């Protein structure tokens, strides 16, 4: 975090990039070996860190499962196509190893079918501001911002984002701009760099979470152009929850759980996979009717505040960790 948080100490870990991952895993393993014994619980979010715990003397380890790990191999740009079936089988083996050796927390109930035993489910939500800025507010340059928040890959819609930015630039000029907040991976990096250099979009790159979320405030809309892949189908895209939390309308592709959330909340619209024309049409309609955009954003915010605020999930999350810590202390 940019600002100090009482009770939290941040330690930098070497970052994996592309196919260069072993050095980052060695760095994480050394950190776990050095700091783990001084703590009551080790909490892992990244499945790549699960193997780094093998052979270490650690307190109880909890893996917080945030994706269909084996299916995610299909959207990892650094995994060669011919090796993806092999890597997916290896990842499934890691899941079985993890279930035997550590406690699991599931961020979505749809992940339960991948495991043999029952595990606690604590939904992956976000902090919902009580009174975010109204949607469709122009920025210092007088522009309405359309935002995408999160990592960018081809499967997450990199080409669609570039095309949307170009179309908005051609039709709306400086009146409506696309702002992409997040790092890009694989081919998506060149796609975004080219679009940025053309002036088709603003690409912010990686931004720390607290600042990135605040950048959603006042936007015209938030985009979720994810493709129809096995990894994305069983999950609610976190970015949609974050857009709703900040009171901006959502434009999403019709993945099953995204469809359910958008339709239940009334906080956005669904567009066909890869449909740039329909997406731009909706964005321009909201640009021409900002009051409607604010109403759609308000509906999403009301839903998120009532049902998706992290404060409603945090007690269960802390209780699950406390239970693991207590069991470890007794053993």
Q: Is the residue at 82 inside a domain? A: yes
Which pLDDT value is given to residue 124?
Answer: 80
Q: Is the residue at 294 inside a domain? A: yes
Cα 220 → chain centroid? 20
Mean pLDDT, rounded, for 252-256 = 97
Q: Are 112 and 180 found together in one domain? A: no
Is the pLDDT score of 273 beyond 90? yes
Write out the two tokens for 140. Answer: 């210092």
Q: Are 103 and 81 found together in one domain? A: yes
Q: Which residues of 274-306 are buried (b: 16+ CB within 10 A; e: fewer)?
A: bebeebbebbbebbeebeebbebbbbbbbbbbe
Q: Are 303 and 322 found together in one domain? A: no
pLDDT tens string 161-202: 999 999 999 999 999 999 999 999 889 999 999 999 999 999
- Whole-model pTM: value is 0.81
Q: Which domain holds residue 238?
A: 144-308
Which pLDDT value is given to residue 83?
Answer: 62
Q: Are 219 and 268 found together in one domain? A: yes
Q: Are 121 and 253 found together in one domain? A: no
Q: Is the residue at 189 inside a domain? A: yes
Q: Are 199 and 301 found together in one domain? A: yes
Q: Is the residue at 6 inside a domain? A: no
What does pLDDT average to over the chain?
A: 89
Q: What is the CATH number of the domain that holds 71?
A: 3.40.50.2000
Write out the two tokens for 291. Answer: 């009051």
Q: Is the residue at 300 inside a domain? A: yes
Which pLDDT value is given to residue 3?
Answer: 53
pLDDT tens string 115-173: 888 898 988 889 999 999 999 999 999 999 999 999 999 999 999 999 999 999 999 99
Q: Are 163 and 99 found together in one domain? A: no
Q: Are 107 and 183 found together in one domain? A: no
Task: Compare 106 and 243 and report the one with higher pLDDT.
Answer: 243
* Integer Cα distance of 182 and 198 in angstroms: 19
Q: Is the residue at 94 inside a domain? A: yes
Which pLDDT value is given to residue 1?
Answer: 46
Q: Are 284 and 246 found together in one domain? A: yes
Domains in the chain, number: 2
Cβ neighbours of residue 279 closer than 8 Å, sequence gap 6 or more: 160, 164, 223, 225, 251, 271
Is the pLDDT score of 54 beyond 70? yes
Mean pLDDT, rounded, for 81-102 = 75
The candidate with the shortest Cα–Cα distance to 223, out of 173, 174, 168, 264, is 168
pLDDT tens string 280-330: 999 999 999 999 999 999 999 999 999 999 988 899 999 999 999 998 877
Is the pLDDT score of 93 beyond 80? no
Q: Are 251 and 107 found together in one domain? A: no
Q: Are 302 and 317 found together in one domain? A: no
Q: Are 157 and 304 found together in one domain? A: yes
Q: Is the residue at 132 inside a domain? A: no
Which pLDDT value is given to residue 190?
Answer: 97
Q: Is the residue at 131 inside a domain? A: no
What are 144's strand-pairing partners?
A: 176
Mean pLDDT, rounded, for 54-59 = 91
């Amino acid at each position: 975090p940019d600002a100090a948080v009482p009770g939290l100490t941040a330690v930098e870990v070497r970052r994996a990039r592309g196919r260069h991952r072993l050095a980052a895993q060695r760095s994480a393993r050394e950190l776990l070996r050095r700091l783990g014994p001084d703590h009551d619980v080790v909490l892992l979010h990244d499945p790549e860190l699960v193997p780094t715990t093998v052979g270490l003397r650690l307190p109880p380890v909890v893996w917080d499962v945030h994706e269909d790990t084996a299916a995610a191999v299909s959207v990892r740009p650094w995994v060669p196509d011919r090796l993806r079936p092999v890597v997916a089988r290896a990842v499934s083996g890691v899941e079985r190893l993890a279930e035997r050796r550590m406690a699991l927390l599931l961020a979505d109930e749809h992940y339960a079918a991948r495991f043999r035993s029952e595990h606690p489910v604590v939904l992956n939500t976000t902090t919902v501001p009580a009174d975010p800025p109204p949607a469709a507010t122009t920025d210092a340059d007088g522009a309405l911002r359309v935002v995408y928040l999160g990592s960018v890959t081809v499967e997450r819609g990199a080409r669609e984002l570039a095309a949307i930015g170009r179309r908005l630039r051609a039709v709306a000029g400086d009146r409506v701009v696309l702002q992409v907040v997040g790092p890009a991976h694989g081919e998506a990096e060149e796609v975004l760099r080219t679009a940025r250099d053309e002036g088709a979009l603003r690409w912010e790159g990686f931004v720390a979470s607290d600042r990135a979320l605040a950048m959603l405030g006042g936007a015209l809309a938030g985009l979720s152009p994810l493709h129809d892949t096995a990894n994305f189908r069983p999950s609610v895209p976190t970015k949609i929850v974050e857009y709703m939390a900040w009171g901006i309308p959502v434009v999403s592709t019709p993945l099953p759980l995204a469809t359910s959330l958008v339709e239940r909340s009334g906080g956005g619209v669904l567009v066909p996979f890869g449909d740039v024309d329909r997406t731009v049409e909706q964005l321009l309609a909201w640009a021409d009717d900002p009051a409607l955009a604010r109403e759609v954003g308000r509906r999403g915010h009301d839903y998120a505040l009532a049902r998706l605020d992290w404060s409603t999930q945090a007690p269960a999350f802390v209780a699950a960790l406390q239970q693991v810590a207590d069991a470890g202390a007794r053993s």
